[in-house]
Amino acid sequence: MSESSQNVKACPWIARDSGPGALRVLRWTSRVASVVSLILLSLFLFGGEESTPTGREWLMLALFPGAVSLGMLLAWRHEIVGGAIATAAIAGTYAMFWFRRDGVFPGYWFLVFASPGMLLLIVGVLARRHAR
């Protein structure tokens, strides 16, 4: 039984850890960064005592941190799908800010928090390319 199939049997919710050493390092760096990001994003969801969000704010919360977090969690098992969800969610978040037309750029912090999901997407694509 190979080492990668033992990994899948030990933790079936984690994607197989195969590929060259650099890919493994990038995969685990992305995973650790996603855990840190998820912890900080949970503070956005459950911390603070702001007023009840409006309809547009609920949609933005569904995208960020909601869908970004979902994508990063899913990327632990399905890197491409989860990474694509996180990337699409952050793109949707910036699109919502763009169309609000109030001229306020939200900054790059949203990208910083979503970057582990984008990295996991890259890892998934590289792993698929390596497997061919």
Q: Where are the domains of the chain?
A: 3-131
Q: What angle is formed at CA 100 by the lines to CA 95 and CA 104, rounded to 5 degrees?
A: 90
pLDDT value of position 14:
62
Mean pLDDT of the chain: 83
pLDDT value of position 1:
46
Tell me the whole-structure pTM to 2 decimals: 0.81
| Model confidence pLDDT, tens digit, residues 38-93 | 999 888 777 777 778 888 888 888 998 899 999 999 999 999 999 999 999 999 99
